Structures are given as structure tokens and as C-alpha cells.
């Protein structure tokens, strides 16, 4: 059979760009793209012109100048002689520390609260509902300020810990005292906790661009090794159980392998605790955990946990009742049903919205500025920006860094998500 | 082709707009009908709204004098509170016409930030305030202390330098503004509060137990505070500078708020005649009325009166003239000749 003749060739006319549905969508897209490009060009041009008018140039050279200011909480060596770039790193690490601790705490609290909210016990479920609604419906900034004010206004000043000679003679106790066997002092400035000290530390290795603390490295290696050996022991126990039906006793081996090497390393390095002590105006020695940090972590964790609790509850409710009824029919107790049947299935529903909560928490750390917590926003976007007057550079750099952190978090969580999804075989 | 034409037009417009905004602050102010003055968020004596919302203070009075010089009416001014962090951006972006807010004149602000400090209306230095029961009599005894400091200020850098030079350590608590610093300091969250000595005196005046706080004798820096304008509009800079100098010359010549009209009718001094607009067209040369400086003096009084009314001895803040006395009385306040 002869193929129907081709559609008669129409010659292309300009009006077809609008009236012909074959071309119309392309026309519109190209048009919008041109408009968008023009808008971007205008934006860049406007910025460049305004910078030129103000006599400012765009360059990042200031990052290598002396910063000249001090930062209260610096987890890497930093003095006011360090560069602005170093200050940026200090701020970035402060941001990450709050974000990581906050995410872990929020997840733990959120999962517990989410599960308890479904409890059959009316009081427990009611209390959890109150918690969720309270934290979800009040702005985060207020929670941060509230926890900071509570921490700093209800705790004693460092000088209240002092025992003067007259007080000792009269046998009076100071107005405040340290807790946990005199090792931790909570003042209105922060919490002083003991810090680990090593008599025979391994020092640090200088790699040129950064220095690595060998003691920390040794601990990480030893712990990783112990965990690996323990897994081998458990795997061989499982193999024996599968083969013979008899599980060998492993608990004492696990304890030995997990704790033995760490304790041996600690003894070898001469680990002991440095207890904070009141000298002069403040407690010296140990580690000072400033209230700005504590308040920020607590508020972020509790606030985000309220959202995570709802996500967890939704995830659990998404699992059909048949699943738990089947588990009960098999004789599983409610706790085991939750751990073995419901939660693993619910994870598939929970993970994707959980990613956004982690991203939110990470970005919300920038609210630390309200309680003078010097995170990335406080150092690069605060003091560095102010002292150098490089608003545009600092803001762009800060946006870029937050974007990178967020993208890394999403990538990691998406990877985890793909591992818990149902595998199509 | 079309695109490049469009871009060219856009570029040309923005450049014209940029150039216009740099040159014509005075026209913009006149067209708007009021002056917008960047002020402190609240520092008693220098710039703070009172209970009924009226701004008062040493810096505020200079804004009013400026409004009087431009409009002949000291009320045609609006105050925009700015923090240490936001002040220069507010000025650069044109949100305020002039910034009169305890801002220290430094090299990098003058050059890199593209600002012009047109005069120094208060010679200051950075000091420390501590509670008297802390038992400290010198800043060098503050080793290991926690110090409250306002961010975005020169004091932040001076503080780091001072402790480094004296080889002692401290724990900084960075706060956004004066009221937050006071709250932290009074709550005992920091042992010492550091800022310009005048600011300390002003803060102390508002504390309920002012007598229990002492300002340590060390002055660790030079802090020349003055009005700031954007780079590039020299005429506007001249207006701000000479309005300020007019108040200084008025004090030198003994012209006060009360006697300015009487002096205007009776004076035989040529410089006073030029100052009060009776000869020489001084006001017109900078785009104002000849009576501009006279209006400024009539609105707020001379420099000495402004000082005495807001921060001088007898007020709660109780600052001596010190470096801010006229040059004829051993101070640094010196106006070039109005000629």
C-alpha cells in the first residue's frame, strides 16, 4: 500500500511563530529567556556602576588581611593576628557544630515525641501535642532569646562561687557551688566543663595548610579499628549461628575489643581531666561552653524537633494498620512492633521531609546573631563585613557557603534515602 | 543589536542616576522638604528619643542646626536610628543624608568606605566601665575578664590591641547596641563594658545605681567623633562642615541662642556680620540662604550651649569640656576663619 503523501510543505512565515502551536512554545521560551538574560545583565551592570560611583572595587583580597578582632568561641587556633579568612573558618566551624549537634538532638527528640504522640496513654499523648503546638507556633527567634535569658538570668555570677578568707573563717558556704562532684560550674556566662589533658600527648603535625592534632587522630583510628574488629566478631558469630544453630557468647569479647584499646591508649597518653577553677574574674581551665551556644542548640533542637515529630507521626500513620495487627497476631509486643515493623517502613515516608528540616535547622543557625553567637553570620557577615566595608563580597561569599553546606546535606540525605527505599528487584 | 542598544541605555541611565545622587544631596533634601539624619538607636545625651518620642541630644542638635540652616526650620528633620553595624550602609545607600552618630573618623572609613568625615564635633577616647565592688582600679588589672563590646565599631579592634599590648587575656561578648550591652553588663554577664568614654558616661547616667559604677582612668584610643557624609558631593560636605563651624564661631564670638537677634542688629565685627548673613553672601555660596548660619544658631544655640544642655556638667551625664573646649581655652575645637 502506498504511503499517504507527505503533508504539503508550507513555506515558513514569521507569523507562524505565534499562531502555529508547533512553534509557539519555543517562541515563548526564547522570549522569556531573553528577558531573563536582559534582567541579569541589567542587575550586574547596575551593581558594577553603583560600585564604580562609590569608588569601590570588587575583590576578595581583604580575606588575607589581619582580622584584628577576637572571637569568644574558636575551635581552631585563632588570635586577632589571624586573617579574615581564618575568622571565616572559625565562624564556619561554629555554624557546623551547632548544626550537627542540633540535627542529632532534634532527630532524637523528634522521633521520641512523634512516637509518644500516638501513645494510647491520654496524658502522654496530650503532653506531646502541647509541646508540638507550642514550639511549632512561636517564632524560633523568641525561643532562642527565651532560652538565653533563662540561662543567663537564673544562674549565679562567677564571683558567687568565691570563698573569701572571712567566709572560710566563719564557716559560711559561698552563694553558689559547682555541681557533679565539683567538676562543672554553671555561671551566668556559660557552663565550665572539665577538659581532657594529656601528659604525654602526641602533639600535632603541620601539613602546611593546616595542622592535625595527632592525639585526636590516634583516638579516631583506635576507635574505628575497635568497631571494625567488633563487627567481624559479630559477623563470625552470626555465621556460626546460621551453620550450627548455636550462637557463641560474644558480649565479653565485644566489651574487651570496644573499650580495651581506648583505655590502654588513654593510660599510655596520660589522660586526666582539667577541672575548671575560679581564678580572678572567671573560671579558668576546662572548657567554657558559652550560654549563647547552649541556648542556640537547645532552641533549635526543640523547635525543629516539633516539626520532626509531626513528620514521624505522619510516617507512622502512613503504614497500614494491617502491618501492626499482623505483628500483634504473631505475638510481638508493641515496642518491638514499632522498632521492627513500623519504623523501618515509616522511614521511607519520613526521610524526604526530614531533609528539609535539617536544611532549615542549618540555615536557622544564623539566628545565633541574636544572642551574640559568632557563627559564619557573626564573623564573615558581621564583624568582617563591618570592619572592611565589603558588603557585596561578604554577602555573596556567605550565600555561597550556606548554599554549599545545604547542598552537601541534601546530597548525603538523598543518598541515605536511596538506601532505605524499597529495592525493586 | 537591539540588546546592546538596550543595555547601553540602561547603563547610561544608571550612570546618570548614580552621578545625580552623588552631586545633589542638597537638591534632594530640599525637594523632599526634610532632612534625614542617621542617628543612634538610643544613647542618652547624644541621640535618643525621649518619653514622648522627641529626639534630643548633642548629635541630634547638630542635625537640627543643619535643618535650620537649610530650611530655616529646625523641625524639618527626621531621625533614622542606626546601629553600629548598619550606619555606614545606611549612609552609602542614601537612606540617610548625613550620619551624626558618635562615629569615629578612621583612615579606612575615610578611604575604603568612601565616606567623608567633615568635622570632629567630639574628641573622645575609649574607656572601660566596671562595677565598683569588682575591686579594679586600672584596665591593666582586667586579665581574664569578660568584656562586653559593641560590634561594628572601632572599639572592637582597639580592645584586641590593648589586651595584646599588655599581654593579658579577655573573653569578648559581642553585642549589637548600647542597650543590649547595658543589659548584659548589669546582669553580670560581663565584668567590664568598653566603648567611648562619653558613651560610658551616658550609659552610666541612665543606670539606676550610677554611683556603683566607675569608669577606669585608662583611655586606650583616640576617637574623634564627627558627622559623616558620602564621598563625592563636596557641596553637601561643605554645608555640614560649615554649619558645625558656625556653631563653634558663635561660641567664640559669644553669640548665643538668646542674643543672636540682638547681636545681628548691633554688631560691628565683620566676621560676625558674615556669619549672620549681613554681609558677604556666605550662605548663597553653598546654595543656602544668607541667614542659614543665623537660623542654625537661633535654633540650637552655639556649640558651648549645645554641649552644656545635653552632656555638660550639671546634666546627668556630667562630662567636662576637656579636649572639647575652644582652642582659646586650651581645647581642640577650632574653626577656620569664615571669610
Output the pLDDT for position B226: 93
- What is chain A's length? 425
B126-221 has CATH 3.40.1280.10 classification: no
- Are B231 and A55 within 8 A, CB to CB? yes
Confidence of residue A80 (pLDDT cuts 50, 70, 90): confident
Backbone angles phi, psi at A277, to 5 degrees: -140, 140
Q: What distance in Å separates the CA atoms of residue B154 and residue A369, rounded to the nearest whole number? A: 19
3-class DSSP state for residue A40? helix
Mean pLDDT of B200-205: 88
- More reliable by pLDDT, A174 or B129: B129
Q: Cα distance from B40 to chain A (closest Cα, Å)?
A: 17
The CATH number that domain A98-154+299-306+320-378+403-410+417-421 falls under is: 1.10.3720.10
Interchain proximity A389–B113, CB inside 8 Å: yes
Q: What is the DSSP letter of B43?
A: B
Q: ipTM exceeding 0.85?
A: no
Task: Answer yes or no: is pLDDT of B166 > 80.
Answer: yes
Beta bridge partners of B333: B326
* A424 band by pLDDT with thresholds 50, 70 and 90: low
Query: Looking at residue B11, what is its pLDDT?
Result: 47
* Lowest mean pLDDT, pick from A374-378, B16-20, B101-105, B299-303: B16-20
State whether B151 and A279 contact (CB < 8 Å). Answer: no
Ranked by mean pLDDT, which of A216-225, A250-259, A296-305 comes out on top?
Answer: A296-305
CB contact under 8 A, A282 and B146: yes
- What ranges do the domains of chain B cover? 18-123+225-329, 126-221
Taking only the tens place, the pLDDT of each residue in A35-54 is 999 999 999 998 888 877 76
pLDDT at B316: 85
B-chain residue closest to A159, CA distance: B134
pLDDT in tens, B8-30: 544 444 444 444 444 589 999 99
- Min CA distance, B14 vs chain A (Å)? 6
**Mutation target among A70, A141, A188, A379 for the B interface, most CBs of B within 10 A:** A70
pLDDT at position B16, please?
Answer: 43
CB-closest option in B145, B152, B231 to A281: B145
Contact A189 B189 (CB under 8 A): yes
Chain A nearest CA to B262, separation (Å): 45
Instruction: Give the pLDDT of residue B22.
Output: 45
- Report in angstroms the alpha-carbon separations of B46 from A257, A288, A305, B204, B324: 69, 37, 46, 13, 15
Record: contact B11-A45, CB cut-off 8 A = yes
Of B129, B219, B132, the residue nearest B178 (C-alpha): B129
pLDDT-wise least confident of A200-214, A346-360, A368-382: A200-214
Phi, psi (5° rounding) for residue B7? -60, -40
Name which of A152, A279, A282 is nearest B171 (Cβ-Cβ).
A282
pLDDT of res. A381: 86
Q: Cβ separation of A70 and B142 shorter than 8 Å?
A: no
Which member of A41, A281, A372 has the closest CB to residue B173?
A372
**SS3 label, residue B38:** strand
H or E element in which residue B3 lies: helix B2-23
Contacts of A386 in chain B (CB under 8 A): 84-85, 88, 151-152
The minimal CB distance from A72 to the residues B14, B163, B172 is found for B172
Q: How many angstroms separate the CA of residue A275 from the nearest CA in chain B?
A: 17
Q: Is B19 in contact with A53 (Cβ distance < 8 A)?
A: yes
Q: Provide, rounded to the nearest whole percent, the portion of chain B with pLDDT above 70.
A: 93
Euclidean distance between CA atoms A78 and B170, whole angstroms: 14
The confidence score (pLDDT) of residue A425 equals: 62
Which of the four pLDDT bands, split at 50, 70 and 90, describes residue B44? confident
State how far the Cα of B4 lies from the Cα of A406, in Å rounded to an integer: 37
Q: Find out whether B37 and B66 touch, Cβ atoms under 8 Å.
A: yes
Which candidate from B7, B109, B145 shows the least CB-CB separation from A41?
Answer: B7
Give the one of A53, A68, A372 whose C-beta lies nearest to B18's C-beta: A53
Q: What is the pLDDT of residue B20?
A: 45
CA distance B256 to chain A (A): 39
pLDDT reported for residue A298 = 94
Q: How many CA atoms lie within 13 A of A321 on its CB side?
A: 0
The contacts of residue A216 (CB under 8 Å, 6+ apart) are none
**Among A9-13, A145-149, A190-194, the range of highest mean pLDDT:** A145-149
DSSP string, A213-260: EHHHHHHHHHHHHHHHHHHHHHHHHHHHHHHHS-PPP-HHHHHHHHHH
Q: pLDDT digits over A329-346, tens only? A: 999 998 888 888 888 888
- Contact list in A for residue B140 (CB cut-off 8 A) is none
Instruction: Please report the pLDDT score of residue A366 as a whole number.
Output: 92
Please report the pLDDT score of residue A106 as a whole number: 95
Q: Is the Cβ of A49 closer than 8 Å to some Cβ of chain B?
A: yes
Return the pLDDT at B17. Answer: 46
Q: Find, in chain B, the residue whose alpha carbon is nearest to that of A79.
A: B160
Tell me what the pLDDT averaged over chain B comes to. 87
Nearest-neighbour CA in chain B from A101: distance (Å): 22
pLDDT at position A310, please? Answer: 94
A-chain CB neighbours of B89 within 8 Å are 391
Partner-chain residue, chosen from B112, B142, B163, that has the shortest CB–CB distance to A389: B112
Residue B153 C-alpha, separation from nearest chain A C-alpha, in angstroms:
8
Asked if the domains B18-123+225-329 and B126-221 are classified in one and the same CATH topology, the answer is yes
CA distance A94 to chain B (A): 15
pLDDT band at A9 (very low <50, low <70, confident <90, very high): low
Q: Which residue of A has its CA nearest to B21?
A: A53
Average pLDDT, chain A: 86
Q: What is the predicted pLDDT for the residue at B13?
A: 46
User: Which among A368, A356, A359 has a CA at the least distance from the CA of A310?
Assistant: A356
With a cut of 50, say whether residue A259 has pLDDT above it.
yes
CATH 3.20.20.70 correct for B18-123+225-329: no
Residue A95 parent element (H or E)? helix A84-116
pLDDT digits (tens, 9 = 90+) for B237-275: 999 999 999 999 999 999 999 999 999 888 888 889 999
Q: Do B84 and A387 touch (CB under 8 A)?
A: no
The per-residue pLDDT for range A82-114, each reduced to its tens digit, is: 899 999 999 999 999 999 999 999 999 999 999
pLDDT at A204 over 80: no
Helix A84-116 to helix A122-136 angle (10° resolution) is 150
Contact list, A153 vs chain B (CB under 8 Å): 187
Interface-testing mutation among A42, A49, A154, A393, with chain B (most B C-beta atoms within 10 A): A49
The shortest C-alpha distance from B281 to chain A (Å) reads 32
Higher pLDDT, A151 or A183: A151
**Res B159 pLDDT > 80:** yes
pLDDT given for residue A8 in this prediction: 63
Is A280 within 8 Å of B145 when comparing Cβ atoms?
yes
Facing A386 at nearest CB: one of B14, B142, B152 = B152
Amino acid at each position: 500500500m502506498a504511503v499517504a503523501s507527505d503533508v504539503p510543505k508550507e513555506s515558513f512565515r514569521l507569523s507562524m511563530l505565534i499562531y502555529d502551536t508547533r512553534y509557539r512554545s519555543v517562541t515563548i521560551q526564547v522570549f522569556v529567556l531573553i528577558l531573563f538574560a536582559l534582567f541579569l545583565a541589567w542587575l550586574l551592570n547596575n551593581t558594577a556602576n553603583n560600585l564604580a560611583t562609590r569608588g569601590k572595587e570588587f575583590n576578595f583580597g581583604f580575606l588575607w588581611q589581619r582580622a584584628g578582632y577576637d572571637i569568644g568561641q574558636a575551635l581552631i587556633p585563632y588570635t586577632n593576628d589571624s586573617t579574615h579568612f581564618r575568622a571565616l573558618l572559625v565562624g564556619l566551624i561554629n555554624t557546623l557544630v551547632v548544626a550537627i549537634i542540633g540535627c542529632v538532638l532534634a532527630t532524637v527528640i523528634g522521633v521520641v515525641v512523634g512516637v509518644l504522640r500516638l501513645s494510647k496513654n491520654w496524658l502522654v499523648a496530650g503532653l506531646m501535642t502541647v509541646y508540638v503546638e507550642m514550639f511549632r507556633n512561636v517564632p524560633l527567634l523568641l525561643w532562642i532569646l527565651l532560652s538565653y535569658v533563662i540561662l543567663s538570668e537564673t544562674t549565679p555570677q562567677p564571683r558567687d562561687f568565691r570563698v573569701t578568707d572571712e567566709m572560710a573563717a566563719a564557716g559560711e558556704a559561698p552563694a553558689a557551688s559547682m555541681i557533679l562532684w565539683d567538676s562543672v560550674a554553671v555561671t551566668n556566662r556559660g557552663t565550665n566543663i572539665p577538659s581532657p589533658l594529656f601528659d604525654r600527648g602526641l602533639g600535632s603535625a603541620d601539613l602546611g595548610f593546616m595542622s592535625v592534632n595527632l592525639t585526636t587522630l590516634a583516638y579516631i583510628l583506635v576507635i574505628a579499628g575497635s568497631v571494625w574488629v567488633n563487627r567481624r566478631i559479630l559477623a563470625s558469630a552470626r555465621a556460626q549461628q546460621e551453620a550450627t544453630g548455636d550462637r557463641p557468647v560474644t558480649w565479653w569479647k565485644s566489651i574487651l575489643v570496644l573499650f580495651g584499646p581506648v583505655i590502654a591508649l588513654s593510660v599510655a597518653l596520660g589522660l586526666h581531666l582539667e577541672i575548671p577553677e575560679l581564678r580572678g574574674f572567671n573560671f579558668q581551665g576546662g572548657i567554657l561552653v558559652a550560654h549563647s551556644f547552649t541556648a542556640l542548640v537547645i532552641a533549635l533542637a526543640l523547635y525543629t524537633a516539633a516539626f520532626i515529630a509531626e513528620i514521624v507521626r505522619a510516617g507512622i500513620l502512613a503504614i497500614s494498620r494491617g502491618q501492626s495487627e499482623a505483628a500483634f497476631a504473631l505475638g510481638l509486643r508493641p515496642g518491638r512492633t514499632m522498632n521492627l515493623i513500623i519504623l523501618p517502613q515509616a522511614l521511607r515516608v519520613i526521610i524526604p521531609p526530614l531533609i528539609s528540616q535539617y536544611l532549615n535547622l542549618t540555615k536557622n543557625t544564623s539566628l545565633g546573631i541574636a544572642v551574640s553567637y559568632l557563627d559564619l553570620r557573626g564573623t564573615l557577615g558581621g564583624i568582617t563585613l563591618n570592619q572592611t566595608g565589603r558588603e557585596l563580597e561578604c554577602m555573596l561569599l556567605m550565600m555561597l557557603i550556606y548554599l554549599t553546606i545545604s547542598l552537601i546535606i541534601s546530597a548525603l540525605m538523598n543518598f541515605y534515602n536511596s538506601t532505605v527505599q524499597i529495592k525493586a528487584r | 543589536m537591539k540588546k546592546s542598544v538596550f543595555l547601553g541605555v540602561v547603563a547610561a541611565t544608571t550612570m546618570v542616576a548614580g552621578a545625580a545622587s552623588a552631586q545633589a544631596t542638597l537638591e534632594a533634601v530640599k525637594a523632599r522638604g526634610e532632612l534625614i539624619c542617621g542617628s543612634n538607636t538610643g544613647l542618652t545625651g547624644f541621640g535618643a528619643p525621649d518619653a514622648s518620642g522627641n529626639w534630643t541630644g548633642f548629635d541630634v542638635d547638630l542635625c537640627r542646626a543643619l535643618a535650620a540652616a537649610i530650611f530655616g526650620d529646625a523641625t524639618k528633620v527626621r531621625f533614622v536610628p542606626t546601629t553600629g553595624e548598619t550606619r555606614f550602609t545606611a549612609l552609602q545607600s542614601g537612606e540617610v543624608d548625613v550620619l551624626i552618630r558618635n562615629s569615629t573618623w578612621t583612615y579606612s572609613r575615610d578611604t575604603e568606605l568612601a565616606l567623608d568625615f567633615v568635622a570632629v564635633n567630639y574628641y573622645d577616647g575609649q574607656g572601660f566601665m566596671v562595677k565598683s565592688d569588682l575591686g579594679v582600679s586600672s584596665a591593666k588589672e582586667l586579665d581574664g575578664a569578660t568584656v562586653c563590646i559593641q560590634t561594628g565599631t572601632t572599639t572592637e579592634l582597639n580592645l584586641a590591641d590593648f589586651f595584646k599590648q599588655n599581654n593579658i587575656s579577655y573573653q569578648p561578648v559581642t553585642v549589637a547596641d548600647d542597650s543590649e550591652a547595658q543589659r548584659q553588663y548589669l546582669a553580670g554577664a560581663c565584668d567590664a563594658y568598653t566603648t567611648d568614654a562619653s558613651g560610658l558616661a551616658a550609659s552610666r547616667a541612665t543606670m539606676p545605681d550610677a554611683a556603683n559604677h566607675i569608669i577606669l582612668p585608662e583611655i586606650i584610643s583616640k576617637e574623634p567623633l564627627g558627622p559623616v557624609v558620602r564621598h563625592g558631593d563636596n557641596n553637601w560636605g561643605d554645608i555640614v562642615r560649615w554649619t558645625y563651624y558656625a556653631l563653634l564661631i558663635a561660641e567664640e564670638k559669644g553669640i548665643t541662642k538668646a542674643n543672636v537677634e540682638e547681636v545681628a542688629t548691633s554688631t560691628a565685627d565683620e566676621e560676625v556680620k558674615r556669619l549672620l548673613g549681613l554681609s558677604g553672601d556666605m550662605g548663597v555660596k553653598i546654595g543656602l540662604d544668607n541667614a542659614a548660619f543665623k537660623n542654625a544658631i537661633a535654633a540650637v544655640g552655639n556649640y558651648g550651649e549645645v554641649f552644656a544642655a545635653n552632656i555638660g556638667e550639671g546634666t546627668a551625664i556630667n562630662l567636662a569640656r576637656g579636649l572639647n573646649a575652644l582652642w582659646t581655652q586650651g581645647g581642640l575645637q577650632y574653626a577656620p576663619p569664615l571669610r
